[in-house]
Chains A and B, each alone.
Chain A
Amino acid sequence: MPVLERDDAHIWRRRTTGQSLVRWFGWLLGVAVFVYCWQLISESTTWFFVWDAPRIANDIWTRATPPKWDYITQLGRPIWDTLNIATLGTIIALILAVPVAFLAARNTTPSALFIRPIALLVIVSTRSINSLIWALLLIAIIGPGVFAGVIAIAIRSIGFCAKLLYEAIEEIDHSQVEAITATGASRWQVMAYGIVPQILPAFAGIAVFRWDINIRESTVLGLVGAGGIGLQLSASLNVLAWPQVSLILIVILVAVMISEWVSAKVRGAII
């Protein structure tokens, strides 16, 4: 314990001089980095627009209220498309995520040396790229539309679902697996009766959790042309139809809240 001696008195201190110097330099470095970053942002900002922002915000608000309520008749189909993108995307992602998760989990992978790194690479690369970027890419490849949205959501979700699932597989109780093995079960039977029942609740929870996130993400996929309600949003934004924009934002908010409520209910029922 560092003690400072001054005038024959021992004063307790939390850190030694060296430790506090290191900390002090750490903070100095952090502050310097932040100031530098702020300077870069400030350089590429037109400050006149920022000072003008309250007036613009007020202007947009007066244009956007009240929402154009009768526009909602045209939103039925986009909402249905959004729901389909999220649901079908989640289902496809789950179908693809299960084998990836089994290949990535330490206790079920056939080869820890070759196959596991590949599975982990699939998980990391699909997870670290946003669904909007996948949608951009898929639109360039297979053309705009709902299908591109479904695939984009599916690819983005593989990594997420597989990661959570393989962590659940690694945490299973081994004695059950051993018990099934002891009865003379084959590899697949061990899988079906020893491992799957243990991860089924986690699987259902992950599915609903990801579905909830996917509803959120699929509402904006239309901004790049991948179908759903975002298409209407970007069309309304492009013609500066602010009353329609505000109605669409309200609809998106309600959809997100409903999906969150459903997912909370279902997860509550499972756990």
Chain B
Amino acid sequence: MSHRELDDMLGKGWRKPAFVKNAWLRWALSVGFVAYLIAAFLTIDVDWGRVYEGLDRGWAFVLAFTSPDFISRWGDIWSGLLESIVMTVAASVVGILISIPIGLGAARNIAPLPVYIVCRGIVAISRALQEIIVAILLVAIFGFGPLAGFLTLSFATIGFLSKLLAEDIEAMDKVQAEAIKASGARWMQWINYGVQPQVMPRLVGLSMYRIDINFRESAILGLVGAGGIGATLNTAFDRYEYDTAAAILILIIGIVMALEYLSGIIRARVQ
């Protein structure tokens, strides 16, 4: 801050600097935002009578969490949960295995341009399509069952993991890779000794994170017939069996928490 600016500020009270510096932009943003909010609220028609009627049911659902019913539908819950876990494991393994070569191909400092474009294209398609939409299409093509869910999750894993792996490879330390190359290593050896040790910790961490996401997603794929716990949950909601639904939700939350804890330990160990 120059002397002149300091002199100008002398004798005036301090005011908080604004978050958006340009005054015109600030005003335009806030006016536009308020106008949008008004428009949005006018077009949402809420049936408050219906909401009020539903509050009892909402309260019943909250109460159901204090007395979840694991027993009476345990067979359905267990088969759904097992299917979800099986889909998660299989899809994570296959997805991670496929995403490693694609991730290598999508890193500009390793792959030649044609390979780079193809791999980036695969990543872009996989990331742009939502899991549930992919699941709908795959169920239409492959029929109901966990195979469609497995394929959906594998496809989604490829987009997520390849992109982050490629970004990590692009940000790696070039010197180590060059040193390996200078020792006369073949391409595979170069990847194996020059690149892989640098990105391995992050790859393990990301894979754990993706397993976590895959399990959460596998819980909804059942809504469109792609296998997993979602179908059981949907049926429980449709039959207003809130205690069973609460039991399923508690199980999902518990497994996600366990996975997160586990991935935290593993990530701490590899880094």
Complex interface: chain B residues within 8 A of A147 (CB): 44, 46-47, 51
A189-232 contacts to B (CB < 8 Å): 193, 200, 204, 216-217, 219-220, 223-224
Least Cβ–Cβ distance between B26 and chain A, in angstroms: 13
Q: How far is the CB of B197 from chain A (nearest CB, A)?
A: 12
- Interface residue B234 (Cβ < 8 Å from any Cβ of A): yes
Interface size class of A (residues with CB under 8 A): 35 or more
B128–A253 contact, CB under 8 A?
yes
Question: What does DSSP make chain B's interface, helix, strand, loop or mixed?
Answer: helix
A44 to B147, CA, bound (A): 8
Q: Does A128 contact B256, Cβ atoms closer than 8 Å?
A: yes
Contacts of B237 in A (CB 8 A): 136-137, 140
State whether the Cβ of A130 lies closer than 8 Å to any Cβ in chain B.
yes
For residues 131 through 150 of chain A, which have their beta carbon under 8 Å from a beta carbon of chain B? 132-133, 136-137, 140-143, 145-147, 150
A129 x B252 contact (CB < 8 A): yes
How many chain B residues touch the partner (CB < 8 A)? 58
Cβ of A41 under 8 Å from chain B: yes
Question: Which residue of chain A is the closest to B58 with respect to CB atoms?
Answer: A141
Q: Does A33 contact B (CB under 8 A)?
A: yes
B159 within 8 A of A: no
Nearest residue (CB) in A for B47 is A143
Known: A124-B253, A147-B46, A216-B130. Contact between A130 and B90, CB under 8 A?
no
CA distance A30 to B96 in the complex (A): 14
Q: List 23 A-B pairs, Cβ < 8 Å.
A: A30-B93, A37-B87, A44-B227, A45-B147, A46-B145, A50-B147, A53-B142, A57-B141, A60-B137, A87-B40, A124-B257, A129-B249, A132-B223, A133-B219, A136-B233, A136-B237, A137-B61, A141-B55, A141-B57, A147-B47, A193-B16, A200-B19, A233-B133
Contact surface of B with A, Cβ cutoff 8 Å: 16, 19, 36, 40, 43-47, 50-51, 54-55, 57-58, 61, 82-83, 86-87, 89-90, 93, 128-130, 132-133, 136-137, 140-143, 145-147, 150, 216-217, 219-220, 223-224, 227, 230, 233-234, 237-238, 240, 245, 249, 252-253, 256-257, 260
Give the B-binding residues of A (Cβ under 8 A). 30, 33-34, 37-38, 40-42, 44-46, 49-50, 53, 56-57, 60, 80-81, 84, 87-88, 124-125, 128-130, 132-133, 136-137, 140-143, 145-147, 150, 193, 200, 204, 216-217, 219-220, 223-224, 233, 237, 249, 252-253, 256-257
